[in-house]
Amino acid sequence: MSGHSKWSNIKRKKEITDAKKSKVFSKMSRLITVAARDGGADPDMNPTLRLAVDRAKQANMPSENIDKAIKKGSGALEGAKFERVVYEGYGPYGVAFMITTLTDNRNRTVSEIKNIFSKAGGSLGTPGSTSYIFDSLTFEPSFRIALESEEQLKKIENLEEALEDQDDVQEIYSNYEL
């Protein structure tokens, strides 16, 4: 029994679950804030806000945090001003990506996304560089790029995981298939 204690085991598990919850709650909070800012603070009159609140409740986000995010979005509370920004780029093997973000600092977000793309062997494009590939409403690609090996798939999945780990990233769209 030497070398470990019950509390250290609990603490380690708790740290992992708390980090996951924190990441989800911060994304939900941003969605709620922007939805409240764009369409009003009443979930009955704002379907985007209602959907964001429902998703937050499904993720077990505390009601206090939801109310605080709505108040920030409606201007009742001071807080960071989030804006929706779409980034476009190409990953390895010519796979096109569109990344939607909610950020309070465009410069930080663009440098982080550019860094992720360059580490994965891709490049961040200019506005319009990949948007012609995706439908403007559904983000369905007009054509797909077939990956030929598990190694290629793994490289693309690693890029997607790195992008998802970035706090500001909300949605990732790409045009690859197996």
Return the domain boundaries, the chain: 6-74, 83-177
pLDDT means over runs of 10, the chain (178 residues): 74 88 90 90 92 94 94 82 91 95 92 96 94 91 93 94 91 92
The domain defined by 83-177 carries CATH number 3.30.70.980: yes
Give the whole-angstrom CA distance, residue 160 versus residue 171: 10
Q: Both tokens of residue 114?
A: 């550019």
Residue 140: what pLDDT?
93
Give the whole-angstrom CA distance, residue 3 versus residue 8: 10
> May I ask the CATH class of domain 6-74?
mainly alpha
Residue 3: what pLDDT?
61
Give the whole-angstrom CA distance, residue 3 versus residue 81: 47
Name residue 105's beta-bridge partners.
none
103-to-9, 27, 126, 175 alpha-carbon distances in Å? 35, 10, 18, 24
Q: Both tokens of residue 112?
A: 């982080």
pTM: 0.75
